Amino acid sequence: MLPDRTQKYGFAIGVVIIVLYLCPFFILGQDSYVTIHDNLDSLLALRTVLVQSGKVFQTNSPIEQIMNGLPRECLHSALDVVGWLFLFFRPLTAYVINTLIVRIVAFVGMFLLLRTHFIKDKNAYMIISGTSLCFALLPFYSMFGLSIAGQPLLLYAFLNLLGKEKRFSDFVIILFFPFYSSLVGAGVFILFALGILFIYDYFKNKRINYRFLVGLFVLAATYAVVEYNLVYLTFFNDGFVSHRSELDLAQHSWDLKNAVKVGLVNFLLVV
């Protein structure tokens, strides 16, 4: 996996720095600082309430603690890995474990992607390790799992399928990814981008890469299985009305100038 001792040292140092980066959680415990917006006030709270309701693996059963009885199907799937952590650990412990896993996977995924497909020079270990570490230390919303942080690892697996090497581990990565990511938050865009990559490869090589196509099908099918609640609400529950239907879209829309401005602000300033 790591071809020489130098890269092993760079890899190990990166992992140690990530652990040190998370040390405030271990030191401060319940007094730790945690991002509020879309994190502490929703994602973390919703998973905690779902576990406390005892209805993680139930369907057609309202969660009485939320909105006087929110349908179970509106919350995260029972196949969600982040939810499993909250099922077995206290909320803060689950949050820290999840954050550690997400950042380690981000580092490993970027490391493998760069070393295998983009930077072949063995002497560039500092660039590979440093870039991977910078990516792993980005302010991810770890409660979204590997939706963003795991994309380099997923791309690594699909680029392997485009090559000549046959690795069972690539399909394991593809199969596991939907269990630890969000279809709505990232999955649909990932599938679209990979579809474009498949079409590009087809026109470039004048042939269908069936391994890549199978990988794409496995990813989409696994997402459909993991997000069975969403599939049910979308296609089989005509009586469900989302609270989002009350949003005034005209009030929340911008013209092109303001849309670009808001996009730049979110990209450069929001963490």
Q: What is the distance between the alpha carbons of residues 100 and 186, in angstroms, rounded to a whole number?
A: 20
What's the confidence (pLDDT) of residue 124? 80
Q: What is the distance between the alpha carbons of residues 104 and 14, in angstroms, rounded to a whole number?
A: 9
Q: What is the distance between the alpha carbons of residues 232 and 235, in angstroms, rounded to a whole number?
A: 6
Asked whether 80 and 74 are in contact (CB, 8 A), the reply is: no
Q: What is the distance between the alpha carbons of residues 109 and 105, in angstroms, rounded to a whole number?
A: 6
For the record, the structure tokens of 235 come out as: 């296609």
Question: Which amino acid makes up residue 17?
Answer: I
Q: What is the distance between the alpha carbons of residues 152 and 24, in angstroms, rounded to a whole number?
A: 27
For the record, the structure tokens of 50 come out as: 């779902």
The DSSP 8-state label assigned to residue 253 in this structure reads -
Cα dihedral 30, 32, 33, 37 sign: negative
What's the confidence (pLDDT) of residue 252? 67
Residue with tokens 């983009």: 118
Q: What is the distance between the alpha carbons of residues 85 and 71, in angstroms, rounded to a whole number?
A: 22
Taking the chain (271 residues) in runs of 10, the rounded mean pLDDT of each run is: 62 88 90 86 88 83 82 85 92 93 95 89 82 92 93 95 83 96 92 95 91 94 91 77 70 80 80 50
User: Measured in whole angstroms, how far is the alpha carbon of residue 38 from the centre of its chain?
Assistant: 15
Asked whether 61 and 55 are in contact (CB, 8 A), the reply is: yes
Question: Which amino acid makes up residue 84?
Answer: W
What's the confidence (pLDDT) of residue 18? 93
For the record, the structure tokens of 10 come out as: 């760079």
Asked whether 222 and 180 are in contact (CB, 8 A), the reply is: no
What's the confidence (pLDDT) of residue 93? 92
Q: What is the distance between the alpha carbons of residues 114 and 128, in angstroms, rounded to a whole number?
A: 6
